[in-house]
Amino acid sequence: MKIILTLKPSLIVFLSAFVMFSCRHDSALTKYNTENVIVVVMDGARYSEVLGDADALYTPRLKNNLTPTSVISHHFYNNGSTFTIPGHAALTTGNFQDIDNNGGQLPQNSSIFQHWIKANNNNTEKAWIIASKDKLEILKNCVDSEWNGQYMPSTNCGANGLGTGYREDSVTMVRALSILTNNQPKLALINFREPDYSGHAADWPKYIKGIQDVDEYIYRLWDFIENDPNYKGKTTLFVTNDHGRHLDSVNDGYISHGDDCLGCRHISFYAFGPDFKQDYSMGEEHEMIDIPATIAELLHFDLPDGKGRIMQELFK
């Protein structure tokens, strides 16, 4: 009896190790059609004006062009600091962390870009951060001494890089299409500064115009992916936000963001790609850090410090 009792825990350990090893092994062997991943961030749009609006008054492209062939989620959240840099860093590192929102501090953890580049022959030309906000250039690097200054992606951010100010989304759109055409990134993050920029200016009509413009830009990117021989049929596109904005009942409402009210945390989510379901609404709740975990799975690299989980429900 005593022998059986002492054997049982070790048997459990053995079986657990076997199961873990098997899962990793299966995962590594899974062949996906996805060869490229593009993440588009519509900066600071509230869920209520995007996916939460059943009529999609301001996002007709997302509703009519993207949604019929995509997975959407009405249960997707920023569960960390609801500011721009922490929100984007959650998407790129798989960790919620409270870092300076002005670009004066690097993310603690290595990013999907660094891990992808290391896994792909140090090919920094094929991983890109393209952003209207110059401060997002800090996403290329991290504090972690094993990764600091290494395997950094190419960047095209703000007026002319970190510290030079924001640029119009129309400029970012032109740059993004040019980089997709000429450099053909296999992993890219594209940030549009609207509608956040006009929200902070307390200009509701321009806030709405910002959503409408970015809706159109996302459609053009999707249309490009669907028609470009290098991307068609082998590219996964994620569309989300870095954070929302306060509910109308909280502080100054749509003008600001940054706390943990539902308006700031609840964000929109769309995913389109050859390995994902189509015209499907996810039931399971997910958070931003699950996007990098899913990208690592799709592109077959490890993200050991990432805290997210693979969004299994997306897959066919």
Over the window 244 to 273, marking each residue x when it contacts Zn ion by CB under 5 A and - when it does not, the resulting string is --x---x--------x-x-xx---------
- Residue of 43, 213, 215, 287 that binds Zn ion (CB under 5 A): 43
Is residue 150 exposed (0-12), middle (13-18) or buried (19+ Cβ within 10 Å)?
middle
Minimal distance, residue 191 CB to Zn ion, in Å:
8
Q: Nearest to residue 95, comparing CAs of 233, 287, 312, 256? A: 287
CB < 8 Å & 24+ apart, contacts of 203-206? 204/254
Q: Which is nearer to Zn ion, 84 or 240 (CB)?
A: 84
Considering only residues 179 to 208 of the shown chain, the ones binding Zn ion according to CB under 5 A are: 196
Is the backbone of residue 289 left (phi > 0), alpha (psi -120 to 50) or beta?
alpha
Closer to Zn ion by Cβ: residue 49 or 242: 242
Least distance CB 84 / Zn ion (angstroms): 3
Minimum CB distance to Zn ion smaller for 180 or for 264: 264
Whole-angstrom Cα distance, residue 119 to residue 144? 18
CB 114 within 8 Å of CB 152: yes
Q: Which residue has the tokens 């951010």?
A: 157
Binding Zn ion (rule: CB under 5 A), the pick from 36, 84, 141, 294 is: 84
**How many residues lie near Zn ion (CB under 5 A)?**
11
The window from 27-35, 79-87, 139-147, 166-174 that contacts Zn ion (CB under 5 A) reads: 79-87
- The one segment of 158-166, 215-223, 242-250, 273-281 that binds Zn ion by CB under 5 A: 242-250
**Residue sitting closest to Zn ion (CB):** 84
By CB under 5 A, tell whether 88 contacts Zn ion: no
- In this complex, which beta carbon is closest to Zn ion, that of residue 44 or of residue 185? 44
How would DSSP label each residue in 54-83? TT-SS-HHIIIIIGGGSEEEEEEE--S--S
**Which one, of 165, 102, 98, 86, lies nearest residue 131 by Cα?**
165
CB of 45 to Zn ion, least distance (A): 9
Q: Which residues bind Zn ion (CB under 5 A)?
A: 43-44, 84, 196, 242, 246, 250, 259, 261, 263-264
